[in-house]
Amino acid sequence: MSFSPLIVQLMDSLQCLPGVGPKSAQRMMLHLLERDRKGAFKLSEALQQAAEKVGHCQRCRTLTESDICEICSDPRRDAGLVCVVETPADVLAIEQAGGFKGHYFVLMGHLSPIDGIGPEDIGIDQLLAQVEGDEVQEVILATNPTVEGEATAHYIAASLRKLGVKVSRIAHGVPLGGELEYIDGGTLMHAFAGRRELVD
């Protein structure tokens, strides 16, 4: 004996969510069916609409249901400055930090030859075409400081340099509020290599 077919189907489907295994799925199912049917209907509707209508911005490739996303269509933002990131979550993190007023280009991943993800899969040709065609002065590479993110940054930098555009990489070092004794060695070495002279 187990739960009835519709309940089993719901628990199976919940397990497509990252970090949700059989036990969490059961807990979610009981919560939704016993205490929050309205939430279940709302979530069902939201999933259906988003999965159907959300696509990619034609300019920066971020997730959006518009043809051109909010940032790309904002005339107050500086189109001469393009920040390259791996995911839409990175865009949000940078926006929440505030301060950056340029455009973005979202790779939706990183180069990963092992998984068969090459330059065309992360839209590098589209990025090059935009940089070439538009009035871009600087491209800031903000991919993750992981092996794949670094390799992707290097590849893009090499491709962009041929077009004569300024290319920069965000600084890596000790995070604000971080305590030196708890920072890993790689980050510390980056922080030393990237040191800047103090001038008054």
Sole binder of a copy of itself in the list 21, 43, 175, 178 (CB under 8 A): 43
Q: Find where tokens 């290599």 sit.
A: 193
Specify the amino acid at residue 91. Answer: V
Among 29, 82, 127, 131, the residue binding a copy of itself under the rule CB under 8 A is 29
47 is a site residue for a copy of itself (CB under 8 A): yes
Q: Is 64 in the site for a copy of itself (CB under 8 A)?
A: yes
Own/partner contacts of 90-96, CB < 8 Å, gap of 24 or more, are: 90/142, 90/144, 91/62, 94/142, 95/71
Pairing of strands 55-56, 63-64: antiparallel
Asked whether position 159 contacts a copy of itself by CB under 8 A, the answer is no
CB of 183 to a copy of itself, least distance (A): 23
Q: Closer to a copy of itself at the Cβ: 18 or 185?
A: 18
Other CB atoms within 10 A of residue 106 CB: 25
For residue 192, the SS3 value is helix
Instruction: Please give the residue ranges that form the binding site for a copy of itself (CB under 8 A).
Output: 1-7, 9-10, 12-14, 16-19, 24, 26-34, 36-37, 39-51, 53-54, 63-66, 69-71, 87-89, 92, 95, 108
